[in-house]
């Protein structure tokens, strides 16, 4: 079978996995990455320090035979630990048991493991090479080394763009065709803060219970096996555990209004805001004011494109094609699915790459659109609803119906997170299920009041069993 050389731009999470999969399948793979090699220079993130890895992501890693290498650095998260304003906490399990969980992984460690794997499989990666522009007529990519200013060219008949949300390849493609690009800003941004590992605390600054935990050799200042959420209506904080004992905290907040990034302009305002809204977290974040002003404010939004490829010459994948907001923890997971899908399509022949690229877009775009919509919806759920009585009743009924109708009524979160059902299917079935839950719980205050027989009938009437 003809196996053309494939050139990738961007060796982030999706690019490094795709390079691994393609090289493992015998393609000659050349990758150009803007940043220096993180194995020598240290990882320069610019994005979230850790990420939630779910079934779709694990499937990508398993396909590349990397699960065993990565499992030891992943921290299990069984559910949401909801922190109320008064400091009370409540764990809402994500799934039925510990087989239905998500995992927190460090972005740098994951990226480095993927780069190692790509090179072991035979991919050639050139670091410090930023794509500047493309001469489409003579199939020439132009790169700049930002550290030295050196320029370099590379001739490539087929380019895969895994260069993230601000993709330079996308800009270059847009000089040739209208990609139908649209960016919808969320109007909210994020800021990363840190809860250090217990051994890194000054013991005198710790509350007595945590001081004893530290003395016992414990590493985590909060429950490690959970994704912590402080829902506060229009905004929220979340925290994901890191394997060495710290937590990365992310504040999501509107850009304008009160409170917002526009009002938190000095240390006194930041302290007052955290003391009011996140009082139980403040003693755990000794450096939060410095972090707030030292760390960048990250912008959030959704990128939609109508076209992801330029005939057989170029294809966009991952965030370069469909950046989404992070509230379902699925951006990377979705990008890993892209990588598996493209590697699978290329297995069936590469004679007509334009056709392969078109098929890829046809199969993936409805799913990317669906997870984009669900991710925005999940922001409202996380920041505003997880502590509502009606929300909790609907979740309780959802679990009940899932137990009564296995394979037919499957909560949307489970379909997105624990399965590899197409996102578009999860979205469509989720809408039907939400209608059933709304109808069955209308005017009810507890599960005991719900007419389960009537709910069963709605399930049977409106939902076909899922294919096994």
Ligand X SMILES: Cc1cc2nc3c(=O)[nH]c(=O)nc-3n(C[C@H](O)[C@H](O)[C@H](O)COP(=O)(O)OP(=O)(O)OC[C@H]3O[C@@H](n4cnc5c(N)ncnc54)[C@H](O)[C@@H]3O)c2cc1C
The footprint of ligand X (CB under 6 A) covers: 9-15, 32-35, 47-48, 51-52, 130-131, 162-164, 168, 190, 250, 298, 318-320, 326, 329-333, 335
The answer to whether 115 and 11 have CB atoms below 8 angstroms apart is: yes
**CA–CA separation, 346 and 353 (whole Å):** 8
Q: How far is the CB of 201 from ligand X (least distance, A)?
A: 25
| Of 329 and 411, CB closest to ligand X | 329
Say whether the peptide bond before residue 259 is cis (omega within 30 degrees of 0): yes
Residue 144 Cβ vs ligand X, minimum distance, rounded to whole Å: 9
CB of 196 to ligand X, least distance (A): 20
User: Shortest gap between Cβ of 83 and ligand X (angstroms)?
Assistant: 19
What's the closest the beta carbon of residue 307 comes to ligand X, in angstroms?
17
The gap from C-alpha 25 to its chain's centroid, in whole angstroms, comes to 26
Nearer to ligand X, 30 or 330 (CB): 330
Least distance between ligand X and beta carbon 432 (Å): 26
Cα separation, 447 vs 325, in Å, equals 33
Which CB, 140 or 460, lies closer to ligand X?
140
Our CB check for ligand X shows the closer of 30 and 333 to be 333
**Which residue minimizes CB distance to ligand X?**
12
C-alpha span between 20 and 14 (Å, rounded): 10
Would you say 310 or 437 has its CB closer to ligand X? 310
CB of 48 to ligand X, least distance (A): 3
Nearer to ligand X, 281 or 323 (CB): 323
CA 415, 416, 420, 425 dihedral sign is: positive
Contact status, residue 241 vs residue 102, Cβ threshold 8 Å: no
Q: Shortest distance, CB of residue 49 to ligand X, whole angstroms?
A: 9
DSSP code of residue 297: P
Nearest approach, Cβ of residue 318 and ligand X (Å): 2
Cα 89 to Cα 98: distance, rounded to the nearest angstrom: 20
Q: Give CA–CA dist 367/404, Å, rounded.
A: 28
Closer to ligand X by CB, 319 or 398: give it.
319
Q: Is 292 exposed, middle or buried (0-12, 13-18, 19+ CB in 10 A)?
A: buried
Instruction: State the Rg of the chain over Cα.
Output: 23
Rank residues 134 and 394 by Cβ distance to ligand X and give the closer one. Answer: 134
Handedness of CA 16, 22, 23, 29 (dihedral sign): negative
How far apart (Å, rounded) are the C-alpha atoms in residues 441 and 387? 17
Q: Looking at residue 215, what DSSP letter applies? A: H
- Residue 171's Cα: distance from chain center in Å? 23
**Residue 222: count of CB within 10 angstroms of its CB:** 17
Compare residues 169 and 436 and give the one whose CB is closer to ligand X.
169
**CA–CA separation, 260 vs 373, rounded Å?**
24
For residue 271, give every residue at least 6 positions away whose Cβ sits within 8 Å of its Cβ, in sequence order, or none.
289
């Amino acid at each position: 079978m003809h196996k053309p050389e494939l050139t990738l731009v961007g060796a982030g999470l999706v690019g490094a996995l795709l390079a691994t999969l393609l090289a493992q399948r015998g393609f000659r793979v050349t990758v150009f990455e803007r940043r220096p090699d993180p194995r020598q220079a240290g990882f320069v993130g610019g994005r979230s320090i850790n990420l939630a890895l779910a079934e779709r992501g694990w499937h990508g890693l398993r396909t590349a035979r990397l699960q065993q290498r990565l499992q030891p650095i992943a921290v299990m998260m069984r559910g949401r630990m909801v922190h109320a304003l008064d400091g009370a906490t409540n764990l809402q399990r994500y799934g039925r048991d510990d087989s239905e969980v998500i995992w927190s992984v460090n972005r740098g460690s994951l990226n480095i493991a993927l780069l190692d794997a790509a090179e072991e499989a035979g991919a050639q990666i050139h670091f410090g090479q930023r794509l500047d522009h493309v001469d489409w007529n003579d199939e020439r990519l132009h790169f700049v080394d930002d550290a030295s200013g050196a320029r370099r060219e590379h001739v490539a008949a087929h380019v895969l763009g895994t260069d993230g949300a601000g993709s330079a390849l996308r800009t270059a493609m847009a000089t040739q065709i209208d990609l139908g690009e649209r960016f919808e800003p969320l109007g909210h941004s994020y800021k990363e803060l840190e809860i250090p590992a217990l051994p890194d605390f000054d013991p005198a600054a710790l509350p007595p219970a945590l001081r004893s935990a530290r003395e016992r050799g414990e590493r985590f200042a909060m429950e490690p096996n959970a994704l912590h959420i402080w829902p506060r209506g229009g905004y929220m904080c979340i925290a994901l555990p890191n394997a060495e004992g710290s937590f990365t905290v992310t504040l999501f907040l509107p850009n304008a209004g009160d409170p917002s990034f526009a009002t938190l302009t000095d240390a006194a305002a930041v302290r007052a805001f955290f003391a009011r809204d996140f009082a139980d977290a403040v003693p755990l974040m000794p450096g939060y004011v410095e972090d707030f002003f030292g760390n960048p404010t990250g912008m959030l939004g959704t990128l939609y494109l109508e076209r992801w490829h330029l005939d057989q010459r170029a294809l966009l994948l991952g965030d370069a094609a469909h950046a989404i907001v992070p509230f379902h923890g699925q951006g990377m997971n979705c990008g890993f699915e892209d990588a598996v899908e493209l590697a699978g399509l290329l297995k069936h022949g590469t004679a007509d790459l334009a056709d392969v690229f078109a098929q890829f877009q046809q199969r993936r775009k409805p799913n990317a659109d669906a997870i984009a919509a669900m991710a925005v919806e999940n922001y409202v759920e996380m920041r505003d609803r997880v502590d509502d009585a009606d929300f909790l009743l609907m979740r309780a009924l959802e679990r009940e119906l899932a137990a009564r109708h296995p394979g037919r009524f499957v909560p949307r979160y489970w379909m997105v997170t624990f399965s590899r059902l197409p996102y578009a299917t999860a979205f469509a079935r989720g809408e039907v299920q939400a209608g059933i839950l709304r109808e069955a719980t209308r005017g009810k205050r507890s599960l005991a009041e719900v007419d389960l027989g009537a709910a069963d009938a709605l399930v049977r009437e409106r939902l076909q069993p899922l294919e096994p």
